[in-house]
Amino acid sequence: MRLLRLLGFAGLLLSVTACTQVQPWERGYLARPEMAWKADVLEGALNDHIFFSKEASSGGSSAAGGGCGCN
């Protein structure tokens, strides 16, 4: 029981410290192309299509399809 409380407290502490306030002068740095998750959206979509076509499955990228590559 004590371990469960400790893990719960640690999870709560981590979730609270993960949020931060972004100051107006810092937003310019976050808007740079280097900070994007995917720098080239079209290339990312093409890579995702190739991956799920070759794997004959899909999941996690909100796309449906099979292994035929006809999506």
Residue ranges per domain, the chain?
A: 28-58
Q: Which residue shows structure tokens 């399809």?
A: 65
Nearest residue to 69 via CA among 59, 11, 58, 54: 54
- Structure confidence by residue, pLDDT tens digits, 48-58: 888 877 766 65
pTM comes to 0.34
- Structure confidence by residue, pLDDT tens digits, 12-46: 888 776 677 888 888 888 888 777 777 788 888 88
Q: Which residue shows structure tokens 């100051």?
A: 23
